[in-house]
Amino acid sequence: MAFQSILFKDPRNVEKQLRTPPDFFVDLGLNNVAKELVKGLDEFNIEPLFYTPLDQTDEIVYRQQVFVDIENPRLMGAIRVFSDRFRMVLAYINNDRLYELQRQGLFLKAVNVYCGSLRDLAKALESGGIRSEGLQAFRDYLGNYLNTSEFNDLRTDAENTLSKITSVELCLTIKGGSISVSKCDGAVDYSEEVERVFERFMGSGTIGDEGVSKPIYIRGHVEEVVLEFAAKLYPDAFRALRDFYVKHKDFLNQTIARFYREIQFYIAYLRYIEPLKKSGLMFCIPRLTSNKGEVNCRDGFDIALASKLVKKNSVVVTNSFHLTGKERIIIVTGPNHGGKTTFAREFAQAHYLAKLGVPVPGSEATLFLCDTIFTHFERGEAVESLRGKLEDELVRIRNILEKSTERSIIIINEMLGSTTVKDATIIGRRILKRIADKDCICVYVTFVDELALTEGVVSYVSQVDVNEPEKRTYKVIRQQPNGLAYALALAKKHRVSYQDILERVKP
């Protein structure tokens, strides 16, 4: 099948994009990730791509392969240059604030940049050792396109027209409020002389032609008048320019233009994770599995939090997780601020990002191809009575249980906080039973240690250093719950445990 999309193996999937983020986006902190990813890219409308997870492994692999290919920095560099130049092409041809002759001139320039950028990109793709289905198909498509008579006509016409236009020489005599335009028949051109005199002030940089991302062009009405005079002096050149404009008005290849738009998704994601990688964090292409008993991720992290921390030059702590055999449910306990919720987010984010086909946090990862993720987080709005709060929580978990399938992932963060530990244990276990019956994967963050002792669940515990509690360790380790060890150790450190107070306050 001819190449159509670098994002979708089956181009019909393009139509299935969602306009609004999934329900769990905010709970997982992904709203901030998406917002930052698309910053400055409004024109490409790539936001829906981050809202639309892929359901088929071959679609996911299609994108993953592209990411593997563009790990080659030379190829990535070439794609970035292509993208910048293409952006300029569009800026040139879509500028409706220009006068007619100016527009024609920029149009010519645009076509020249366009042709150059495509040839350079094709070269880079040929020599880039690409393995991905998507980029290979695009390389072939581009190669074919560059060999079409359509493209060759465009290129040669552009070159010819350009050489005619660049041969135009004008002499402008500016005197008071009037300008006269003439051919330069032996008139003295002072500009060279002036340039020579002022050379030392010019700096060492040279002004490139099309490589500069900011187009420099004339757009005023005076310039337009000058051009009109020039057109009278050089009618052939300007006729050629007009003919070129009319003939090639629709030169833009729509498939390539679409590639340009779609490749922004890859560029944006890599741009987002670049500072994280620089700080020493790792990303990997996950293997998708349909076996829940082989979920595994090493050195993962919460991508939203990491992005924030790296900006502040703070250290990000990584966490690993895995499920083996019949393990489905992870109970996360431990002191607050030890990274319990962060760990739950890490788990869910990894599975979501994997479904976008992008590299995920971690040095290596095998992730379950889930159908969807459900999150049950504490709600900000105040439900006032305890009964009301419990009701609200249970209704929400019931709805999740109704909608979930054996392929769903459920993330529960601090549920049943409005009841006693005894009730939270009893009800928590009943809910765990229902989740286990569904065979869902679940991460359940709670301060009820008893839940971590439920049969069949896996216990992870957040760690805080008693001697340096202000330091966020965010380390969450697979181990048995440690009860009140942390709080009591901290109380002892400050000599305010029950015994300490009795000793310090004299009767």
Partner 1 sequence: MMLMYTDHSFDASQNQPWNYGDLVRDLDLKPIIETMAGGDDFIAQVVAKALVIGVDDVDTILYRQGVLEDTLRNIDTVRSVYAIITQAITEGRRRLFWIPNPNPESVVFDSVRTLEVYLDTLDKVREVFDASASQFKSSGFQNLIHSLDYRFDRNYLNSIRLMLSSLEFPSGVSVAVRLGDEAELTKKPLLIISGANRGGKTVYLRSIGQAQLMMQCGMFVAAETFESSISSGVYTHFKREEDKELGGGKLDEELSRLSSIIDHVKPNSMVLFNESFASTNAREGSELAKQTVTALLERKIRVLYVTHFYEFPLWFYENRPSLAVFLVAERKEDGTRTFKVREGVPLETSFAEDVYSKIFGDHTQDEERE
Q: Which is nearer to partner 1, 134 or 339 (CB)?
A: 339
CA distance 456 to 452: 9
Beta bridge mates, 180: 173
Please, are residues 428 and 436 in contact by the beta-carbon 8 Å criterion? Answer: no
Burial of residue 14 (number of CB atoms within 10 Å: 0-12, 13-18, 19+): middle
The reply on whether position 29 binds partner 1 by CB under 8 A is: no
CA distance 6 to 135: 7
Q: Which is nearer to partner 1, 219 or 403 (CB)?
A: 403
Q: Taken in order 110, 114, 116, 120, is the CA torsion positive or negative? A: positive
Binder among 100, 150, 189, 423 for partner 1 (CB under 8 A): 423
CB of 492 to partner 1, least distance (A): 10
The reply on whether position 212 binds partner 1 by CB under 8 A is: no
CB of 22 to partner 1, least distance (A): 25
CB of 501 to partner 1, least distance (A): 4
The reply on whether position 302 binds partner 1 by CB under 8 A is: no
The reply on whether position 381 binds partner 1 by CB under 8 A is: no
The reply on whether position 420 binds partner 1 by CB under 8 A is: yes
Residue type, 44: F
The reply on whether position 382 binds partner 1 by CB under 8 A is: yes
CB of 341 to partner 1, least distance (A): 11
The reply on whether position 21 binds partner 1 by CB under 8 A is: no
Residue with tokens 């599975």: 351
| Cα-to-chain-centroid distance, residue 20 | 16
Joined together, the tokens standing for residue 315 give 């250290």
> For partner 1, how many residues bind (rule: CB under 8 A)?
54
Please, are residues 100 and 107 in contact by the beta-carbon 8 Å criterion? Answer: no
Please, are residues 315 and 84 in contact by the beta-carbon 8 Å criterion? Answer: no
Selection from 259, 250, 59 nearest residue 142 by Cα: 259
The reply on whether position 493 binds partner 1 by CB under 8 A is: yes
Concatenated DSSP letters of 197-251:
HHGGGS-S----SSS-SS-----SHHHHHHHHHHHHH-HHHHHHHHHHHHHTTT-
Concatenated DSSP letters of 437-453:
HHT-EEEEE-S-HHHHT
| Cα-to-chain-centroid distance, residue 174 | 52
Q: Which is nearer to partner 1, 240 or 397 (CB)?
A: 397
Q: Which is nearer to partner 1, 192 or 468 (CB)?
A: 468
**Which of positions 320-379 make contact with partner 1 (CB under 8 A)?**
335-338
CB of 431 to partner 1, least distance (A): 9
Edge-first strand order for the sheet with 287-289 is 287-289, 364-368, 296-300, 319-322
Contact string 458-477 vs partner 1 (x = CB under 8 A): ------x----xxxxx----
Residue type, 34: A
Residue 175 DSSP SS3: strand
Question: Phi/psi of residue 391, each to 5°?
Answer: -60, -45
CA distance 173 to 183: 11
Q: Which segment (167-175, 237-245, 346-354, 431-439) binds partner 1 by CB under 8 A?
A: 431-439
CB of 394 to partner 1, least distance (A): 4
Selection from 280, 265, 307, 267 nearest residue 32 by Cα: 307
The reply on whether position 192 binds partner 1 by CB under 8 A is: no
CA distance 69 to 78: 12
Q: Which segment (99-107, 139-147, 305-313, 426-434) binds partner 1 by CB under 8 A?
A: 426-434
Q: Which is nearer to partner 1, 224 or 450 (CB)?
A: 450
The reply on whether position 501 binds partner 1 by CB under 8 A is: yes
CA Rg, the chain, in Å?
31
Joined together, the tokens standing for residue 47 give 């936001």
CB of 317 to partner 1, least distance (A): 12
Residue 201 DSSP SS3: helix
The reply on whether position 481 binds partner 1 by CB under 8 A is: no
Q: Which segment (30-38, 282-290, 356-364, 493-501) binds partner 1 by CB under 8 A?
A: 493-501
Q: Which is nearer to partner 1, 355 or 472 (CB)?
A: 472
Binder among 76, 218, 233, 487 for partner 1 (CB under 8 A): 487
Joined together, the tokens standing for residue 362 give 């971690």
Q: Which is nearer to partner 1, 214 or 506 (CB)?
A: 506
| Polymer length in residues for the chain | 507
The reply on whether position 449 binds partner 1 by CB under 8 A is: yes
CA distance 67 to 57: 15
Selection from 471, 71, 502 nearest residue 309 by Cα: 471
Q: Which is nearer to partner 1, 181 or 436 (CB)?
A: 436
Q: Which is nearer to partner 1, 178 or 385 (CB)?
A: 385
The reply on whether position 478 binds partner 1 by CB under 8 A is: no
Binder among 369, 427, 440, 441 for partner 1 (CB under 8 A): 427
Binder among 28, 419, 440, 452 for partner 1 (CB under 8 A): 419
Binder among 26, 184, 197, 502 for partner 1 (CB under 8 A): 502
* DSSP tag of 288: E
CB of 379 to partner 1, least distance (A): 13
Residues lying near partner 1 in the complex (CB under 8 A) are found at: 335-338, 382, 384-387, 390-391, 394-395, 398, 417, 419-421, 423, 426-427, 430, 433-434, 437, 447-449, 464, 469-473, 484, 486-488, 490-491, 493-502, 504-507
